[in-house]
Amino acid sequence: MSTRPSKSGTSASGPGSLRSLAWLLLPLIGLGLFLVLLFRSDPLALLSDMAPPLEELTVEQTLLDDNGITLWVRADGSEPMHIAQIQVDGAFWQFSQTPAGPIDRLDLVRLDLPYPWVAGEPHFITLITNSGTTFDHEIAVALPSPKASAEQFIGLAVIGIFIGLVPVALGMLSYPALRRSGSGSLQFLLALTVGLLVFLLIDTLGEALELADEAAGAFKSPTLVWAAAIGTFLLLLVIGRRKGEAPTGTGLAGYLSLGIGLHNLGEGLAVGAAFAVGETALGTFLLVGFVLHNITEGIGIVAPLVNKRPATWVFVALALLAGLPAVFGVWVGAFAFAPQWASLFFAIGAGAILQVVFEVSAYLSRRSAEAGGSWLSLTSLSGFLVGLAVMYGTALLVTA
């Protein structure tokens, strides 16, 4: 009697797992039957079918060149959509659609318009579907789209370097000064880092959500932003603490670099995309603004290293990790921008920043406890606020 449960337990392990697998199929079979019933009987016919099909078109990318205007348009209708005519600046214009025909839900088509656009001026495009519904798209300032030439890649890389690598590296040059400032200032520095990271977090999330609104509705990008941010945060948290303890020193600096690097990737995407559609004038002033704004990122990265003495290559690696993604961002943004992907990148960046906010705060808290104080002190509060203020102030500079 006493052996029976164990016996049945062990002997049934083969067929038993098969049986539980079969039970797993039950809901699937149920679903299949339900779908058959739904399509056979069409119970919705009992309700009136007065509601017209939903229509949605999202212009994801705009290219302007010698041949005119090219749009990449994603359909998001409850039924396949037909683009019947296109108006450019209030005139019906010739166009060709590739692939031709009705556009299924979430399919992407290319529209080529041989339109003589005028450099430096805005253009307005209206897509008209077979139901007469219109979808407007504005080209803020018409400029030739960047072409995938070596020259363009180098030019855009230079922009990316100025946005990402240069300010981070400049900020990291503050390391010797930070070291000399004494151990008492570490709490202030770490709090300052948290402050500027929180600013970046808010900014990144804001941009992610803003871009999410531009994406085709079916992608549910705003929800995806939160999910991706939380997922990234938890994933990095687990990876960082896989050895059972929170990252410190070089490790923490590495995560800081990663988080800031992902943020800079998103920033690069935005700059590249804005450049491609003529929404931004890439003048010296803008780049100077970027350098000032992002310089604080470099200070943040080296803050956990104040009590260490890492090799020079560590600094180089940290700078590259935090700064170079901006270059890739600018490239992708300029040549293959799509709002749903860009918002996802921003969301991942936000999650990564949240992780370092968490870890730097934890580090700050531990350091304070070790020093016999509390994490909540006038020093840490003032550091945090100064961090926020500096970021806000330099953001103003960029805007000015």
Partner 1 sequence: MKFFKSLKTKITQIKPVNPVRRRLLGGGFLAGGLVALTASGSARAQSHDNHSTPEGSATAPKDPAAQEKMRMQHGGMTTVGEVDHARNGFHPVEMLTDWDRGVASTLPDGRTLREFEITAEDKEIEIAPGIFFPAWTYNGRVPGPTLRVTEGDVVRIRFTNNSSMPHTMHFHGIHAARMDGVPGAGEAMPGEEFTYEFDAKPFGCHLYHCHSFPLKRHMQKGLYGAFIVDPDPEKHRDNPADYAVARSRLLGTPENDHWQEFIMVMNGFDTNFDEENEIYAVNSIAHAYSNEPIRVDKARPIRVYLVNVTEFDPINSFHLHGNFFDYYDHGTTLSPTLRIVDTVMQCQAQRGIIEISFAEHENGNYMFHAHQAEFAELGWMSLFQVEGEDA
> Rule CB under 8 A: which residues touch partner 1?
65-68, 82, 84-87, 90-95, 113-122, 126, 128-134, 140-144, 146, 151-152, 154-155, 158-159, 162, 206-207, 210-211, 270-271, 274, 279-287, 289, 395, 398-399
Q: Looking at beta carbons only, is 91 or 378 nearer to partner 1?
A: 91
Minimal distance, residue 204 CB to partner 1, in Å:
10
Minimal distance, residue 245 CB to partner 1, in Å:
38
* Rounded Cα distance, 357 and 255, in Å: 10
Minimal distance, residue 267 CB to partner 1, in Å:
9
Minimal distance, residue 45 CB to partner 1, in Å:
21
Minimal distance, residue 355 CB to partner 1, in Å:
23
CB 261 within 8 A of CB 322: yes
Minimal distance, residue 263 CB to partner 1, in Å:
13
Which residue has tokens 């030019």? 155
Gyration radius of the chain's alpha carbons: 27
Show the 3-state SS of the chain.
Answer: CCCHHHHHHHHCHHHHHHHHHHHHHHHHHHHHHHHHHHHHHCHHHHCCCCCCCCCCEEEEEEEEECCEEEEEEEECCCCCECEEEEEECCEECCCEEECCCCECCCCEEEEEECCCCCCCCCEEEEEEECCCCEEEEEECCCCCCCCCCHHHHHHHHHHHHHHHHHHHHHHHCCHHHHHHCCHHHHHHHHHHHHHHHHHHHHHHHHHHHHHHHHCCHHHCHHHHHHHHHHHHHHHHHHHHCCCCCCCCHHHHHHHHHHHHHHHHHHHHHHHHHHHHCCCCCCCHHHHHHHHHHHHHHHHHHHHHHCCCCCCHHHHHHHHHHHHCHHHHHHHHHHHCCCHHHHHHHHHHHHHHHHHHHHHHHHHHHHHHHHCCCCCCCHHHHHHHHHHHHHHHHHHHHHHC
Q: Looking at beta carbons only, is 66 or 245 nearer to partner 1?
A: 66
Q: Looking at beta carbons only, is 107 or 214 nearer to partner 1?
A: 214
* Rounded Cα distance, 269 and 210, in Å: 14
Minimal distance, residue 322 CB to partner 1, in Å:
20
Minimal distance, residue 162 CB to partner 1, in Å:
7
Question: How many other CB atoms are there within 10 angstroms of residue 379's CB atom?
Answer: 18
Q: Looking at beta carbons only, is 49 or 245 nearer to partner 1?
A: 49
Minimal distance, residue 188 CB to partner 1, in Å:
29
Q: Looking at beta carbons only, is 88 or 216 nearer to partner 1?
A: 88
Work out the end-to-end distance of the chain between its first and last CA atoms, rounded to an integer number of angstroms.
Answer: 84
Q: Looking at beta carbons only, is 207 or 297 nearer to partner 1?
A: 207
Q: Looking at beta carbons only, is 75 or 190 nearer to partner 1?
A: 75
Q: Looking at beta carbons only, is 151 or 245 nearer to partner 1?
A: 151
Q: Looking at beta carbons only, is 78 or 134 nearer to partner 1?
A: 134
Minimal distance, residue 233 CB to partner 1, in Å:
22
Question: How many other CB atoms are there within 10 angstroms of residue 177's CB atom?
Answer: 9
